A and B are shown apart, each in its own frame.
Chain A
Amino acid sequence: MASLQNAMRPPALARQPSSLWHEIWRHRLEYLFISPFFIQFAIFSLYPLVWAFVLSFQRWSGFGEARWVGLDNYRAMIQEDIFTKALVNTLVFTAILIPTGILLALFFAVLLNINDLRGRGVYRTVYFLPYITSSIIVGIVFKMLLDDTFGWANGLLKLIDIAPISWLRTAIWAKISIILLCHWQGMGVNILIMLGGLQAIQREIYEAAEIDGASAWQKFWRVTLPLLRPVVLFVTIIGTIGVLNMFNQPFILTNGGPENATTTLTFRLYEVAFRTTRFGDAAALGFIIGVIVLVVSMIQLYVGRERE
């Protein structure tokens, strides 16, 4: 039928390829409706991003003329001793927080996914509440709880005859404190995402596995985990991006100390940008962090897809 119609169409009326402007004009109403987002994006995201990128090649104190210095800012930031320390700290946090975070979230999600679990909604709310609480408030409260002299944590340890721990003033315990705070606050959303993934797995697959004689562990290992892989990959990538950009927790809890033991890359960026007037350096460091996050995310994505 279509070929008959095409054969009957006079050649002169055959459709001409339309120009870009013509296409835009044809869909002008649609573009009008989506334009607010793009205008807002252009003004508040794209323009500052480009401006910051240009600034990263300049020396500027926040006013007056900006002086072009090429790659000098990038070089200076990378060569700083504290950059290396911040990078190592950030990677250590990532290496510890991501696997443990996923394992814990999976554990609790599996528990919440138990059939006929009573009060599932209450548990979900309880786990999610820390996530929606301001990280600043949480940090302040944790700081008071973990205070060496007056904190409740050491008070409880004293009750059971254990020597007090210098939670925020020794390098290793300061890192542990931050890890605990991140888990306490961030686990809720990961549990919800994992739970969603678990509940999306069709029951029939488990029934088929049961018919084949699979044990609970075998069902988990051979059915649940493989089918949950895309969700785990998603949580891993998002979580990694979050940890690589970690700032609130070291800022409130330890101020990057003791002895820069908890200084992360983003915390260092804050120090350069707002505790000094080295805006060019800060812009350069921001893009260095961006490149690191991009590279790590792409590696994760590649490895994750390869396995699939």
Chain B
Amino acid sequence: MVHQRLTSRRRFLAGAAAFGATVLGAACQPQVVEKPVEVTKVVERPVEVTKVVEKPVEVTKVVEREKIVTQVVQVGKPKLKGKLIFWGHDIHPIDNVVPGYKERQPDVVFESQHIGEWLTKFKATLATGQDVPDLVWLEATTIQDLGAQGVLLDVTDLVKPIQDKFAKAKAVEVFIVKKQQYVAIPSDLALVGLWYRADLLQKAGVKEPEKGFKLDPDFLKMALEVNKATGAAAFLLPKNGWAWPFEIFLSQLGGSITSLDGTKVTIDDDKGIQAMTLVKQIYDTKTALDTDWLQAPYWGAVKAGKIAADFMPAWMRGFVRGETKTPEQGLGQWRVAPMPELPNGVSRTAQIGGAALTSTKFTKVPDLVKDFMEYAFATIDGASAIGNFGNIPPYLPYLESLLFQNQKDPIFGDQLFCKVWADLAKELSPSYARTAVFAEADGIIGQNMMPILRGEVKVADGMKKIGDLVRQANARYS
């Protein structure tokens, strides 16, 4: 048998080097810069307004004890047909809305799929453009990221006419400044408040902050007294960093990590420096709980009464209810109050989390999508279904109703906690942006804030470093 070498080692290496050099040469070419094309052609498109009213409009007055809620029941809504597929996390408030929606649209099949790793799979469907769910539950930062890239369905015609019926701060989150479009319906108002254990405060002889109080001196004093009397922490702040307190204070001060359009990083401006200074102030009380949020030691501390207060969002209700089963563990002892008032603060609340219902340009049933969105978050029926689940829809007529405000929960005892949320919804700052870089910025803050809190670097210097890191990251999203 004759063995013939097809090529020599030298030739192979030479060929590989030539290939690599070619690729490198191509890579070194100047970046292709797209010149913005000026569009001078104005296109007018007639907008068809369809409002089918088969029967005369009925006005139903629901007389409640203190407030009259007038709900206009519009009968003769156009009947739609088709199928809607929804992807979201397991045990979802949207599932509460479906029965009511089926009465409105009996010919629509609604499939709520709670598959594992759904967010990763959703992004994979976007890459292929196939099997994309019609409705999906996305965080504000993802909505801003995808919306800016033109992937999400434009629902401006649905949201804009009714934008005043939503909490302004939430409407801002689903509006893409770059495209001047609404790409989701405002859905979940994840308001933050000061949750506290009434029994532990009582034990320490501290008056309850029912209407809220000032950070300095009231909260600081409370933290020290409760910690001294009961050994309980006054808030969560693990030693390896935790961005939430900073983000909450920043929002309360009217600041933001970036501008609303995401082009400018503002985390290290005066408000950012002030927010971190205030976090340092509470850190210096040495009354923080040093453990990771939602991990087993955290719940151990909650049940053992080792945390007397914390800055928590409204949606923590389900989690706390799941973990506290007896009065000794805190059942019936929790109360909620506005966040401590900050010097020069514009609000006594902020948002942590709070996703929105959105769709993509790939949906084949945009009319169905908008109809469901409207029902779920822009009607009293839908909003109350969401509210009964535990979330707070930002639909103002619902928030102002006794349906919402009279809700009770075993963890809060007799407190009408939803009244607190209803008041705070109006205060929420509309300047706080959660743009594409937000998730990365959250990590950067957490990893770099501790030297500031420990006093190893000055607040301004530390914030400048954080600001530069966020700018570095933000540049990758343009």
Contacts and interface: CB of A to CB of B under 8 A. Distances in A.
A126 interface: no
A80 B474 CA distance: 12
B380 interface: no
B32 A68 contact: yes
A150 B297 contact: yes
A17 interface: yes
B447 interface: yes
Contact of A257 (B32, B297, B447): B447
Contact of B290 (A70, A149, A260, A275): A149
B231 interface: no
A82 B6 CA distance: 46
B42 interface: no
A203 interface: no
A149 to B, nearest CB: 6
A282 to B, nearest CB: 11
Interface string A136-179: 00000000100111100000000000000010111000000000
A70 B127 contact: no
Contacts of A277: 123, 145, 436
Contacts of B291: 147-149
A256 B440 CA distance: 14
Interface residues of A, number: 44
A20 B7 CA distance: 11
Contact of B6 (A20, A57, A169, A257): A20
Interface stretch (A58-66, A206-214, A238-246, A296-304): A58-66
Contacts of A169: 238-240, 290
B280 to A, nearest CB: 16
B15 to A, nearest CB: 16
Given A62-B127, A63-B127, A259 B240 contact: yes
Nearest to B444: A82
B472 interface: yes
B240 A17 contact: no
Contacts of A147: 291, 297
B469 interface: yes
A124 interface: no
Interface string A266-287: 0000010011111001000000
Given A256-B447, A259-B448, A260-B447, A68 B439 contact: no
B238 A275 contact: no
A276 B126 contact: no
Interface stretch (B23-31, B88-96, B371-379, B427-435): B23-31
A68 B31 contact: yes
Contacts of A150: 296-297, 300
A106 B44 CA distance: 80
A23 B4 contact: yes
B35 interface: no
Contacts, number: 99
Contacts of B443: 271, 275
A306 interface: no
B149 interface: yes
A278 B476 contact: yes
A64 B151 CA distance: 8
B390 interface: no
B297 A259 contact: no
A274 to B, nearest CB: 8
A283 B440 CA distance: 18
Interface string A168-205: 11100000000000000000000000000000000000
A51 to B, nearest CB: 12
Contact of B241 (A57, A70, A258, A281): A258
Contact of B2 (A18, A144, A275): A18
Given A17-B2, A70-B27, A259-B448, A63 B126 contact: yes
Contacts of B451: 259
B369 interface: no
B296 A144 contact: yes
Given A15-B2, A17-B4, A150-B300, A258 B469 contact: no
Contacts of A254: 240
A254 to B, nearest CB: 8
A150 B447 CA distance: 23
27 contacts: A17-B2, A20-B6, A53-B23, A57-B26, A61-B145, A61-B149, A62-B124, A63-B123, A63-B126, A63-B149, A71-B27, A71-B28, A79-B472, A81-B472, A82-B469, A148-B239, A148-B291, A149-B291, A150-B297, A254-B240, A257-B447, A259-B240, A259-B448, A271-B443, A275-B439, A276-B439, A276-B440
Identify the 7 closest CB pairs spanning chains A and B, nearest first: A258-B240, A63-B126, A169-B239, A257-B240, A169-B240, A70-B27, A63-B127
Given A148-B291, A258-B447, A259-B240, 16 more contacts: A57-B26, A61-B149, A63-B123, A69-B31, A70-B29, A147-B291, A147-B297, A150-B296, A150-B300, A169-B290, A254-B240, A256-B447, A259-B241, A274-B120, A277-B436, A278-B476
